[in-house]
Structure 1
Amino acid sequence: MKENSPISEEQYLHPNNSLSSAASKSLTDLINSLSQEQIVNQDLLLSLSFALRSFTNVQRFLELIPLLVTQLVGVKGSLLIPFQDNGSLWCEQLQILPVNEDQELFRKLFLLEEGKKTGFGMQERNIAMLDRIVQRHFDSANVIATSIVSRGRQRGRLYAFDKKEIVFGSNVHRKHIQIVADLTGIAIENDAMFQVIRNHEKVDRQISIGAEIQSQLLPDECPIIEGVELAARCRPAFQVGGDYYDFMPTRPDLTETAKASGRWAFVIGDVMGKGVPAGLLMTMLRGMLRAEVLTGLAPDSILHDLNQLALEDLTQSHRFVTLFYSDYDARSRKLRFANAAHNPPLLWRAQSKSINRLDSPGLLIGLQPEAVYGCGEIVLEPGDVLLYYTDGVTEAPGISGERFDENRLITFLDKFSKEGLGAQQILNKLFERLDGFVSVNEHHLEDDASMVVLKVSEESTLPELT
């Protein structure tokens, strides 16, 4: 009989030593494997975070989502169903992996009439409907789902799927999927905000162009007219406004010298509302009015014709226009005027040191056909001051909510006229008082504010008859 080998002291003391070494090695390998998996997962999540910071094209980012879910969770595939900003299905951005799973499912989603409606993704019953469609499509698979939410709004649904016999859905898996879903929600939210910003930038550019065009339509400077000083300013509440004033020679074919001593049309108007629509309508009216001035008709006839021309366009836009039209003869100092429900200009008489309103009966432009307008006339005397203005001046609110109002405007006009100031100085002082009243550095004007000051020269005399 063969003798047994002698047992070493180490084996005697530690009979399971070899078994312990094997178990220890297996445990070490497992720990290393888990550590390596954690590192890989961390790298994947870091890559997604980097993509979120770097991509400006949301489609490129969303294409990564199913791939990332399959890598993180270790499943066969993943499906992303995002919603547009209005809550409808964003079918153009459906993403799935593997791609051979998409045709039939995508067809069902594209044909889902409910999914095309605004607010679809904001209703729980619709989310449940999506889950049923996906579950039926993957009826032989194990499916888990999570919502993509950003700032309290449903932004989509994210799914992971694998074979029935593959068990997944542990807390770790769900946490990984939720992290991806949260980052996806941020990406979709960012894209929605970028779209809003882009649209605002486009509108801002258009408004800036409109404001530039409109500013070019207002006179760059006041004309030189014999015996009077003129000063004018328009301060729109927005970049584009509905206020309008103009100075037009009734005979533009004359020389500059002849025009200076001829007849001029002075007009100020205001389109109901403000912003781009009001500015566009006022631009249209300006062209019509300039054509009417060339006819040389009296102010009431011009307003009548202008009302006829503009009635259809104004009716369709549901807007009306107030307009004060006057013409001034530099040789006789006679001012004729007609008013289409505009704020009556204020006339400060140098001789009596008093203020009167220049007014005549008339309806808004665009209110009704065949409107009738009255015509008034007055001779201006040396030192007289005439102030045209829009209601944005008198309706301007102060800090306490009180309006600037006409009485306050009359008080200041009377004060500055008595001081013997020139037209430009009076205009500057009036705007200074208006700005101080509304605290313009802290509060914007609610409406466009325009003023035109005409002052008859102190030494102005009528030509002698021969």
Structure 2
Amino acid sequence: MSSNPSRRHPASPTRQGLPSTSATASLRQLLDSLSKEQRSNQELLVSLGFALRSFTNLNRFLELVPVVAARLVGVEGALLVPFHADGRLWNEQLQILTTARSEPVLQALNKHEPGRSSGFGSDDALVLGMDRLVQRQLGSAGVFATSLVARGRQRGRLYVFNPSGSLIWTDVHRRHVQLVADLAGVAIENDLMLQEARLHERVDRQLSIGAEIQAQLLPDHCPVIEGVELAARCRPAFQVGGDYYDFIPTRPELIGRRRERGRWALVMGDVMGKGVPAGLLMTMLRGMLRAEVLSGLPPDRILHDLNQLALEDLSQSHRFVTLFYSDFDPRTRRLRFANAAHNPPLIWRSQQRSVSRLDAPGLLIGLQPEAEYGVGSTVLEPGDVLLYYTDGVTEAPGITGDRFDEDRLIRSLESACRSGTGSQGILDQLFRRLDRFVGPDRQLEDDASMVVLKVREEVMLPSVPRTSA
């Protein structure tokens, strides 16, 4: 063995601590590949966001979701299972990236009995059962599942899977898939809100039409009746209301001055409830009553017959009607009246300068067959004021929570009558007093209607002294 020590060769300065040329090229290729993948993923997400803004067809957008999700993760399979608004499986909108196992998965979901029940999507145990069903249908494929959530509600599930084996999964993949699921949830929520807005638009149009029809059924102006002034107003709580007032000539064939001097029916009623159902019943009741008035019967008989006619329709709707019916003869100034449990009108006596109530016994219209009604009568004197109203006036809540009530209405009527104004002025004062009590910009809870009848003051001519012959 040689005793000479082995000779060391000095290291080349170009190789020490630096990668080889081939390693540098490989690193650059890897960075370029990652950069291209990142740009591709960004373009996919941007495209999906653009589709969300642009598509008005939800089905077209949902078709893209599994395609984008699969490409972001680099797998062959993806499945989107959206839910209806009530949580049921939305089978018509199942979207799957086509693979050899697509058809069995879709068939299994379409036959999944729990998915047909309302609230399925909000039950975590049932959703987990669907996850297991999907996994069974996909066999050994690696599966990742996440929820579509919008406004705190689960709107579906998104699955990505690799039919050929397990998933190569990273946190970036998870975030990408969740972002796609969130966009899909927003798309479904937007579509639901759009459908709801369209439904509200249709309902609003129908309500507007109903309100126009009802406004045409209520008198658009008060008739001319000899010796009295009339003023009326209905303020519905909704577009369509259940309050009803009417002025009906008992002999409609008369015209001109003969009609003004003829007998008139003055009616105030209220269908229990508000909105469209009450408005429809009010319309029905109006037609029946107008036909009854032509019979010329006294008020108690008219209410009796009206109750018999309307009983079946009202009982089926589980609603009742209060109605005050009166007829007025201008020649004698006599008012006859009957009451079906309505708020008794208030009468201001000009001579006594006090307010009292007009009432007669009687049951609600539609409560029971063969109901009997009492009848009353009174003579109105010059200056007397009669106020018909519905309970939406006296039951109106104020800012403090108190009701307007009858006592407050009586005091308001006394004040308005003492002012010496006409029927329209009295009506305006009463509504102003009601509005102040309820408070500015506050909606009435119930329909509020008032009719004011004032007997004109007799003109007293000054006496002329006699001259002696």
Q: Same fold (TM over 0.5)?
A: yes
In 1, the alpha carbon distance for the partners of 2:267 and 2:256 equals 20
Q: Match for residue 276 of structure 1?
A: 276
Aligned length: 451
Q: Match for residue 7 of structure 1?
A: none
Q: Match for residue 446 of structure 1?
A: 445
SS, match of residue 273 in structure 1: coil
SS, match of residue 27 in structure 2: helix
Matched, 1:459 2:455: no
Deviations 1:87-143 (A, max 9, x none): 110101100001664322222211222110001121122112111211111114222
Q: Match for residue 247 of structure 1?
A: 247
CA shift for structure 1 position 163: 3.4
User: Counterparts of 1:89-100 in structure 2 under 5 Å?
Assistant: 89-98=89-98
SS, match of residue 443 in structure 1: coil
- Structure 2 counterpart of 1:208, one-letter code: S
Deviations 1:295-347 (A, max 9, x none): 11100000000000111111111111000000011111111100000011111
* % identity of equivalent residues: 65
Q: Match for residue 335 of structure 1?
A: 335
SS, match of residue 355 in structure 2: strand
CA contact (8 A) 2:299 2:338 kept: yes
User: Counterparts of 1:188-203 in structure 2 under 5 Å?
Assistant: 188-203=188-203
In 1, the alpha carbon distance for the partners of 2:173 and 2:162 equals 13
Deviations 1:351-393 (A, max 9, x none): 1111111110000001110000001111111111100000111
More divergent stretch after superposition (245-254 vs 13-22): 13-22
CA shift for structure 1 position 185: 1.2
CA shift for structure 1 position 408: 1.1
Structure 1 residues 18, 104: CA separation in 2 closer, same or farther (over 3 Å shift)? same
CA contact (8 A) 2:399 2:437 kept: yes
SS, match of residue 441 in structure 2: coil
CA shift for structure 1 position 21: 1.4
More divergent stretch after superposition (383-392 vs 184-193): 184-193
Tell me, which stretches of 5 or more residues in structure 1 are unaligned?
Answer: 1-10, 462-466
SS, match of residue 189 in structure 2: helix
In 1, the alpha carbon distance for the partners of 2:12 and 2:202 equals 87
Structure 1 residues 18, 387: CA separation in 2 closer, same or farther (over 3 Å shift)? closer
SS, match of residue 447 in structure 1: coil
Q: Match for residue 465 of structure 2?
A: none
Structure 1 residues 15, 345: CA separation in 2 closer, same or farther (over 3 Å shift)? closer
Structure 1 residues 460, 270: CA separation in 2 closer, same or farther (over 3 Å shift)? farther
SS, match of residue 252 in structure 2: coil
In 1, the alpha carbon distance for the partners of 2:329 and 2:167 equals 96
In 2, the alpha carbon distance for the partners of 1:242 and 1:100 equals 63
User: Counterparts of 1:353-432 in structure 2 under 5 Å?
Assistant: 353-432=353-432
CA shift for structure 1 position 56: 2.5
CA contact (8 A) 1:144 1:169 kept: no
CA shift for structure 1 position 414: 1.2
Q: Match for residue 238 of structure 2?
A: 238
C-alpha RMSD of the superposition: 1.8
In 2, the alpha carbon distance for the partners of 1:217 and 1:28 equals 84
CA shift for structure 1 position 164: 3.7
CA contact (8 A) 2:77 2:163 kept: no
SS, match of residue 269 in structure 1: strand
Q: Match for residue 216 of structure 1?
A: 216
Q: TM-score, normalised by structure 2?
A: 0.93
In 2, the alpha carbon distance for the partners of 1:460 and 1:264 equals 24
Structure 1 residues 325, 460: CA separation in 2 closer, same or farther (over 3 Å shift)? farther
Q: Match for residue 14 of structure 1?
A: 14
CA contact (8 A) 2:105 2:138 kept: no
SS, match of residue 40 in structure 2: helix
CA shift for structure 1 position 286: 0.4
Matched, 1:319 2:325: no
In 1, the alpha carbon distance for the partners of 2:430 and 2:166 equals 82
CA shift for structure 1 position 293: 0.6
Q: Match for residue 3 of structure 2?
A: none
Q: Match for residue 3 of structure 1?
A: none
In 2, the alpha carbon distance for the partners of 1:99 and 1:301 equals 79
Matched, 1:265 2:271: no
Structure 1 residues 152, 451: CA separation in 2 closer, same or farther (over 3 Å shift)? same
Q: Match for residue 4 of structure 1?
A: none
Tell me, which stretches of 5 or more residues in structure 2 are unaligned?
Answer: 1-10, 461-469
CA contact (8 A) 1:227 1:460 kept: no
More divergent stretch after superposition (94-103 vs 141-150): 94-103
More divergent stretch after superposition (294-303 vs 120-129): 120-129
Q: Match for residue 38 of structure 1?
A: 38
In 1, the alpha carbon distance for the partners of 2:29 and 2:99 equals 35
SS, match of residue 169 in structure 1: coil
CA contact (8 A) 2:395 2:403 kept: yes
In 1, the alpha carbon distance for the partners of 2:234 and 2:359 equals 22
CA contact (8 A) 2:347 2:357 kept: yes
Structure 1 residues 405, 164: CA separation in 2 closer, same or farther (over 3 Å shift)? same
CA contact (8 A) 1:394 1:405 kept: yes
Q: Match for residue 138 of structure 1?
A: 138
Q: Match for residue 76 of structure 2?
A: 76
More divergent stretch after superposition (97-106 vs 15-24): 15-24
